[in-house]
Homo-oligomer: A and B are copies of this chain.
Amino acid sequence: MEVLYFCNAKIKAFKKFNRNSRCTIFDTRMRSINLFKKIFVMAILLCTFLSLLFWSDLGILNFTSLAVKTIPVKNKLCYVSMNDERIQMNNKTDLKMIYYITPTYPRPEQIPELTRLSHTLMHVPRIHWVIADDQPTCSEVVKNVLRKSGIPFTHIASPKPFHYRSNNFPRGVANRRAALDWIRHNVREGILYFGDDDNTIDLELFEEMRLTKKVSMFPVGLIGGYGVSSPIIKDGKVAGFFDSWPGSRTFPVDMAGFAVNIEYLTSTASMPYIAGHEEDKFLVSLGLKIEDIEPLADNCTKILVWHTRTVKFKKPTLKIKLDKITGETYKNFADLIKETSKLGMATIDSTSGTKPLITYDRKTYESLTDIL
Which of chain B's residues has its CB closest to A305's CB?
A: B112
In the complex, what residues of B have CB within 8 A of residue A351's CB?
none
In the bound complex, residues from chain B placing their C-beta under 8 Å from that of A343 are: 221, 303
Select from chain B the residue with minimum beta-carbon distance to A239. B372
Given A115-B202, A308-B113, A340-B228, CB of A360 within 8 Å of CB of B108: no
Stretch at the interface among A6-14, A35-43, A66-74, A310-318: A310-318
* A15-23, A55-63, A161-169, A230-238 - the one binding chain B: A230-238
Known contacts being A230-B336, A300-B336, A333-B233, is A222 close to B358, with CB within 8 Å? no
- The complex places the Cα of A318 from the Cα of B222 at a distance, in Å, of 14
A299 to chain B: closest residue by CB = B332
Q: Besides the contacts A221-B343, A228-B336, what 20 more A-B pairs have beta carbons closer than 8 Å?
A: A88-B88, A112-B306, A116-B116, A122-B123, A226-B346, A232-B358, A232-B372, A233-B332, A239-B371, A240-B359, A240-B371, A242-B356, A243-B359, A246-B357, A249-B362, A250-B361, A301-B335, A302-B336, A303-B343, A309-B310
Shortest beta-carbon distance from A278 to chain B in Å: 17
Q: How far is the CB of A322 from chain B (nearest CB, A)?
A: 14
Contact B336 A301 (CB under 8 A): yes
- Tell whether, in the assembled complex, residue A332 and residue B301 are in contact, meaning their CB atoms are under 8 Å apart: yes
A232 x B329 contact (CB < 8 A) = no
A345 contacts chain B at the CB level, 8 A cutoff: yes
B227 touches A346 (CB 8 A): yes
Interface contact B226-A318, CB-CB below 8 Å:
yes
Specify which of B226, B227, B235, B358 is in contact with A242 (CB 8 Å cutoff). B358
